[in-house]
Amino acid sequence: MNHGRKKPPRGNRRASDAPVDGNRIRPEKEVDGNRLHKESFVDGNRLRPEKHVDGNRRRQDSRATSRPKKKAGARLDIYRILEGAWKKAEAGERADVHLSQVFREKKLPPKERLKLIGYSQALFRWRFFLPEALRFSEALDWACLLDGLKTPDKRQVDLRTPLWKAKALPPVEQRLQWLSRQFPGTRIPPVERALPRWLAGGLPADANPVETATALLLPARLWLRTRVPLKKLAAELGEEGGSLRAHASLSDAASIKTKKDLYYTDAYKQGDFVIQDPASQAIGRLCGALPGERWWDACAGAGGKTLQLCDAMDGRGVVIATDTHEGRLRELRRRLAAAGRHNLEARHWQGDRPPKGPAFDGVLVDAPCTNSGTLRRNPDLWIRPDVRLDELNELQARLLNLAASRVKPGGKLVYATCSLLPAENEEVVSAFLERFPEFRPVTIEDPLDGRGTFEGLLTFHPQDGDHDGTFVAVLQKDRNSPEVADDGES
């Protein structure tokens, strides 16, 4: 194994790193279009088992040769799939979309899907710290070890220092120290150097990049928003239910440890819980929707916060959920039907005019953003080459303008992102308040990390708790403002 280290490739550049001759990470070597896999080929020919008398192969030999061939195919397939996901992310595309396509084409069962997701997350999370000279398959193996996973083909990796024995993963710093002992003479970069350039350069001036990077390198725990008593949900989930742990601050939130895909459980299908990060749940709670009110969720997506609004209103009143993606709305309608909530209208939206009808008591704009606070959950963002922040800012401002036109006097406008960048958060809100002086921030209390009260604007930092990084601004329209005219779209 070559333990030397080169500089990262262009697609994997972080912070102040520079590319080397514009080269990227190379996959395993190929001969005539075929990837070499251990000693599978000699002089271009695949090794064949010996034949026996009269051309018959002994039964024992048949079993011995067929099993390795099946495993080798599975190993090669996994590495190729993940290499494809890596290349998509290098090009600025979403790796999860590539994996979803693979899942559909290969009709993989839930257990295999979860394995591939785990492997891919480990790869994107740790590749920056590994020596560049490693082949793709070797880098994946080491990344899996750093995340506490078995290697895809369960082969042994030559360790100079034994792997930690603790059941829980050690801190990030300790894992990087362990890695440096595996590659003596190779300098492992400081943890803050792992931050993508677009993220590191956009953090607030008082941010601690070491704390931010360390928090974002931790795997995200699986959190639920329970819609039934916790004991009932634990019983419905069976063996997995025994690992449910209630959140310290959010009464409806609970974490769970499981290797099963919860989307296939009866409890999920009947709407007894929603998979939702605590920071997202906190934003839904800060909306403060009340029974009998009328709300508009402008960027509903698959509807986690939409359902939370419906639950807060206890089925009374109405929530209009819009999104530009019809596929997301189909999932939203399914989730609402399973949850037994009928106080919702899901509409496909062009994004140019607000919905018609009476003005709203509240509007939630969960705006598209860089997703910089979700690197724990979407680690392919670690190698995103760049972001189009100017385009996102233009979209965020336009959505707020549309939302403001439909808030009734005294009503609320809630702006939220899953970003850590002030350019998408405080600066967007500040510019909006200059355009619409009839809105003002209202005093809110931190429902998640218990940091006291804030004047309307609040950022949830991943280093403050086991959750994503998000931002929320709760604004109220002056009660003396003119009444809102009905000039939306149907």
Whether residue 489 lies inside any domain: the answer is no
CATH number of domain containing 253: 3.30.70.1170
Q: What is the DSSP string of 80-93?
A: HHHHHHHHHHHTT-
418 is known as an active-site residue: yes
pLDDT exceeds cutoff 60 at 1: no
Do residues 233 and 381 share a domain? no
Whether residue 213 lies inside any domain: the answer is no
Residue 285: what pLDDT?
96
Domain boundary among 276, 294, 310: 276
Three-class SS state of 313: coil
Whether residue 363 lies inside any domain: the answer is yes
Quote the mean pLDDT of the chain: 84
Do residues 455 and 309 share a domain? yes
Structural domain boundaries enclosing 250: 221-276
Do residues 229 and 154 share a domain? no
Q: What is the DSSP string of 134-156?
A: S-HHHHHHHHHHHTT---TT-PP
Domain boundary among 276, 297, 320: 276
Do residues 292 and 270 share a domain? no
Whether residue 2 lies inside any domain: the answer is no
Residue 487: what pLDDT?
63
Do residues 23 and 114 share a domain? yes
Domain boundary among 239, 256, 276: 276
- Of 252-261, 266-275, 324-333, 370-379, the poorest mean pLDDT is in 324-333
Do residues 272 and 284 share a domain? no
Whether residue 208 lies inside any domain: the answer is no
Q: What gap in Å lies between CA 169 and CA 114, rounded to an integer? A: 19
Per-residue pLDDT tens digits for 124-183: 999 999 999 999 999 999 999 999 988 888 777 888 888 876 668 899 999 999 999 999
- CA nearest to 468, candidates 477, 459, 476: 459
Residue 215: what pLDDT?
97
Question: How far apart are the two ends of the chain, measured CA to CA in Å?
Answer: 64
Do residues 246 and 383 share a domain? no
CATH number of domain containing 339: 3.40.50.150
pLDDT exceeds cutoff 80 at 393: yes
Do residues 157 and 46 share a domain? yes
Do residues 91 and 174 share a domain? yes
Amino acid in position 111: K
Do residues 299 and 174 share a domain? no
Whether residue 214 lies inside any domain: the answer is no
| Mean pLDDT confidence for 265-286 | 94
Whether residue 482 lies inside any domain: the answer is no
Total domain count for the chain? Answer: 3
Per the residue annotation, which of 144, 310, 369, 418 is the catalytic one?
A: 418
Cβ proximity of 415 and 428 under 8 Å: yes
Do residues 119 and 250 share a domain? no
DSSP-derived pairing of the beta strands 245-246 and 253-256: antiparallel
